[in-house]
């Protein structure tokens, strides 16, 4: 706005957009993108694992050994005596892969019966043994 007394002057309001700042901003953005794009496309050398085409091994069976309150031992719900248990444990120890054994004992069983069963398992050479328990409730 002009407060001049001379109204015949051609110095009016300029209604054009100033392109110089817009061009400056665009050039700066272009330079930034030109610098960052090669950095973003930089690849990292990785050694990825190779897929093997060999069939997977089937997991061995699980054998449950239960010691009842009277001291008798059950091999997967079949009652066996100590000699039969020792023979079956020897046969299972020879298998490849060995079956996994799970041992459970009755609450009322005497500790000596469980320890005797553990000793037979250890003497036979069984390598995988787990204990089955019930949560307290």
Q: What is the pLDDT of residue 82?
A: 94
Q: What is the pLDDT of residue 96?
A: 86
User: What's the CA angle centered on 123, arms 79 and 114, to 5 degrees?
Assistant: 50
Percent of the chain exceeding pLDDT 70 equals 78
pTM of the predicted model as reported, rounded to 2 decimal places: 0.56
What is the average per-residue pLDDT within 56-81?
Answer: 87
Domains and CATH numbers, the chain: 62-131 (3.30.420.270)
The mean predicted confidence, pLDDT, of the chain is 84
Q: What is the pLDDT of residue 30?
A: 94
pLDDT tens sequence across 17-30: 888 889 999 999 99
Q: What is the pLDDT of residue 19?
A: 86
> pLDDT-derived band of residue 134, with 50, 70 and 90 as boundaries?
confident
Is the CB of residue 135 less than 8 Å from the CB of residue 115? no
What is the average per-residue pLDDT within 85-91?
Answer: 95
101 three-class SS: strand
Question: Could you check whether the bond before residue 46 is cis, i.e. omega within 30 degrees of 0?
Answer: no
């Amino acid at each position: 706005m002009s407060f001049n007394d001379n109204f015949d002057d051609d110095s009016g309001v300029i209604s054009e957009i100033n392109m110089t700042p817009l061009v400056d901003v665009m050039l700066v953005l272009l330079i930034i993108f030109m610098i960052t794009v090669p950095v973003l496309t930089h690849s990292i050398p990785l050694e990825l694992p190779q897929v093997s085409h060999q069939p997977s091994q089937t997991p061995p069976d699980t054998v449950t050994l239960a010691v009842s309150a009277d001291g008798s031992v059950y091999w997967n719900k079949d009652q066996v005596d100590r000699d039969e248990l020792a023979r079956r444990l020897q046969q299972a120890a020879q298998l490849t892969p060995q079956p996994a054994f799970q041992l459970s004992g009755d609450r009322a069983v005497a500790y000596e019966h469980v320890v005797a069963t553990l000793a037979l398992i250890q003497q036979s050479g069984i390598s995988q043994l787990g204990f089955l328990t019930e949560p307290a409730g």
